[in-house]
Structures are given as C-alpha cells and as structure tokens.
Amino acid sequence: MLTTAIVQETRMGHFDRALSLGMILLTIAFIFNLFLTRLQQGGGARWLQS
C-alpha cells in the first residue's frame, strides 16, 4: 500500500510527500530486518522477553 501511495503522490507532483512516505517505508523495512536478524542470531528470545 505504501508503494502505491508513493507512486500516486509522485504522479500528482507532491514530491515532498512521496519522499516522506519513502522514508517511512525504509524505516519500517530497516526495523523489520533488524528484528529478524536479532531473532536469527539467537538473541531474539531474550530481546522479545524484555
């Protein structure tokens, strides 16, 4: 959904909104990858319990 919103905002000429949505998408992806990396390295169970 975010990628569709980014494309629509870009087509309407709202580049600042498109960039903001892109940064939000990148942040979500980074947090998700960090979570999965910690989980895979075995520290995930300890991280989830705290």
d(CA 7, CA 18): 7
Q: What is the residue-wise DSSP string for 2-50?
A: HHHHHHHHHHTT-HHHHHHHHHHHHHHHHHHHHHHHHHHTT-HHHHHH-
Burial profile 37-46: b = 16 or more Cβ within 10 angstroms, e = fewer = eeeeeeeeee
Res. 42: pLDDT tops 90: no
Mean predicted confidence (pLDDT) in 15-19: 96
- Whether the per-residue pLDDT at 47 is higher than 90: the answer is no
- The per-residue pLDDT for range 19-40, each reduced to its tens digit, is 999 999 999 999 999 999 998 8
| Residues making up the chain, counted from first to last | 50
